[in-house]
Structure 1
Amino acid sequence: MKHDAAPVAAGRATLADRERVAPAGPGDTRRLGKPERERKQALLWRIGFLVAAVLLWEFLARLGVIDPRFASQPTAIAASAREIFTDPAVLGAIGETLVAVIAAFAIGTAIGMLVGVVLGFNRLLRDAYFPIVTVLLGIPKSVFLPIVVLFFGLGTGAGVAFASLLAFVHVAVNVVAGIDMVEKKYYDVARAYQANAWHRFTQVIVPGAAPGIFAGLWHGIRNGFVGVVIAQMFVSAAGIGYYVRVYSNNFQTDEAMALVLAAAILVIASGAGWGVLEARLTRWRS
């Protein structure tokens, strides 16, 4: 019996969300997520661990078990942070790093998304080229830095190119994995509703592959930042990585540690913000 043609847009929920998980009843032991109480307890434990680690670090440094000249100590780092983060040169270096990260993320993610979608849908191209991408994923990316320098020279361009390579590999792999997550039954429902290629892509594939896509985007941000900072430490005269190298070479451990911790906090905050954004954009999955 032939199905009547129906507007796909009107049946959007029936394509990607055909089978929803029923809410857990009083006697249902399935859990749809962490209870709020457990999340708060985990946060308190995490904060307690960090506070204890900082206090132990300071205590061991004051006792002389840790040499402050090489490992510094939290109070000295805090004092140095107040100085360097009011220095216009350091603030400008942070701005240059963020601009380079954004550029690397945009380039690497755009290419990675395109390659991931093509490899995810074309079996021949996937069999031919996806093994190359996975090999790149397993190779330590720092070995490509000298080659990148040969092509782009010393400076910001090499950092952006190197970080784009890191972002591209992780985004492409995660997008392919996300496309593989879309179950065949959703394609069958789309065909039953006579969905065209565009509707299948936007209403079936993108929602179904959302976890892989969001994971790829986050890896693009994280690896873009890592790639830029690593390149700045070795082949650039600007940015956070450059100042970390300068402070380390001059045995200014307090200043170097302050910049490293600031970079770590920036990445952690970005991850937390990305997690909140992902939860809001994929709320329909719950």
Structure 2
Amino acid sequence: MIQRLAPLLVQLTAFAALVAVWWGLSAGGIVDPFLLPPPWQVAQTLVGLVGRSDTWNDLGQTLSAVLASAAIAVPAGALIGFASAASPYWKEVLKPILYFPLSIPKSIFLPLFILAFGIGPTETIAFGTFSILFLMVVTAMAAVEAVTDDHRRVAHSYGATFRQTVRYVYLPSMMPVLLEGVRLSFIFGFTGVLVAEMYASRGGIGRSLASWGESFQVDMLLAGVIIVGVVAIAINEIVRFAERRAERWRV
């Protein structure tokens, strides 16, 4: 019990220390309160934001775009990655090409999406899908490599078809790695959608964050960042729960 609570206690202690430093910087006059409002002011603003319907509408629009992006990119990336890794030749050919988009910031491609799709939900979902796709492809390729040759040989020796081998050998071994990729994909997709909304959108929590920053409403901006952070942590923990359960499926 104590071992389970230890990480939580460390997290709460770190959070309390952060708030104390924040309070000291603001209340002590070390940082201008206009640039760093005191914690209680941000807390009051946060309560006000949570109670507003437009906040939930914006958050719902953002999460809908993230889910739509993941629904497109996760299965597509998993299939592309599996097909690429199944052939040693194509794996070596495609790996440098697939790692290239991962090595550069996705935001530099945003103007191309604005030109292609205009400003709106389609552009946001397309950019979110782009933010996830290559990560999922590379993850699926790594998941295929997690399948041992011994398991494949046993399946072939018993006359398993390709479909049976995929279902009973590949998927159980790949699932923990794939879920790790899904967890990271949601975070990447959430970030991609927020960036798209901040620079080219008529709604969403990202558009609100950009508006508050442009108008120097720092308390609103920090409260919005807290909301976004809580949502991101919740998404991460939900997928982590599924990931831990999938560990039992590994063959």
> TM-score with structure 2 length normalisation?
0.95
The Cα of 1:206 is off from its aligned counterpart by 1.0
1:97 counterpart = 2:66: no
Tell me the residue number matched to 2:43. Answer: 78
Q: 2:115 aligns with which of 150, 164, 176?
A: 150
Tell me the residue number matched to 1:283. Answer: 248
Alignment of 1:126-205 (within 5 A): 126-205=91-170
The Cα of 1:71 is off from its aligned counterpart by 2.1
Contact 1:162–1:231, Cα closer than 8 Å, also in 2: yes
Q: Deviations over 1:5-61 (max 9, x none)?
A: xxxxxxxxxxxxxxxxxxxxxxxxxxxxxxx54342122112111111112211221
**Matches of 1:212 and 1:84 in 2, distance apart?**
37
2:46 partner letter: A
1:51 counterpart = 2:16: yes
Tell me the residue number matched to 1:7. Answer: none
**Matches of 1:270 and 1:37 in 2, distance apart?**
26
Q: Deviations over 1:86-141 (max 9, x none)?
A: 22222211111111111111111122111111111123332332321111111111
2:29 partner letter: G
Contact 2:19–2:39, Cα closer than 8 Å, also in 1: yes
1:152 partner letter: F
Contact 1:172–1:216, Cα closer than 8 Å, also in 2: no
Q: 2:223 aligns with which of 258, 264, 268?
A: 258
The Cα of 1:63 is off from its aligned counterpart by 0.8
**Matches of 2:2 and 2:84 in 1, distance apart?**
42
| Contiguous gaps of at least 5 residues in structure 1 | 1-35
1:212 partner letter: V
Q: 1:226 aligns with which of 191, 194, 212?
A: 191
| Contiguous gaps of at least 5 residues in structure 2 | none
**Matches of 1:89 and 1:210 in 2, distance apart?**
38
Q: How many residues align?
A: 251
Alignment of 1:262-273 (within 5 A): 262-273=227-238
Contact 2:155–2:169, Cα closer than 8 Å, also in 1: yes
2:89 partner letter: L
Contact 1:179–1:212, Cα closer than 8 Å, also in 2: no
Tell me the residue number matched to 2:203. Answer: 238
2:225 partner letter: V
SS at structure 2 position matched to 1:69 = coil
Contact 2:176–2:246, Cα closer than 8 Å, also in 1: no
**Matches of 2:69 and 2:29 in 1, distance apart?**
43
1:38 counterpart = 2:7: no
The alignment yields a C-alpha RMSD, in angstroms, of: 1.5
The Cα of 1:70 is off from its aligned counterpart by 1.3
Counting helix residues as a fraction of each chain, which structure ranks higher?
Answer: 2
Q: 2:88 aligns with which of 108, 112, 123?
A: 123
**Matches of 2:136 and 2:4 in 1, distance apart?**
29
The sequence identity of aligned pairs, in percent, is 29
The Cα of 1:153 is off from its aligned counterpart by 0.9
The Cα of 1:73 is off from its aligned counterpart by 2.4
The Cα of 1:155 is off from its aligned counterpart by 1.9
1:186 partner letter: H
Contact 1:61–1:67, Cα closer than 8 Å, also in 2: yes
**Matches of 2:120 and 2:249 in 1, distance apart?**
44
1:166 partner letter: S
SS at structure 2 position matched to 1:160 = helix
> TM-score with structure 1 length normalisation?
0.84
**Matches of 1:215 and 1:166 in 2, distance apart?**
16
Which protein is bigger by CA-based radius of gyration? 1
**Matches of 1:158 and 1:242 in 2, distance apart?**
14
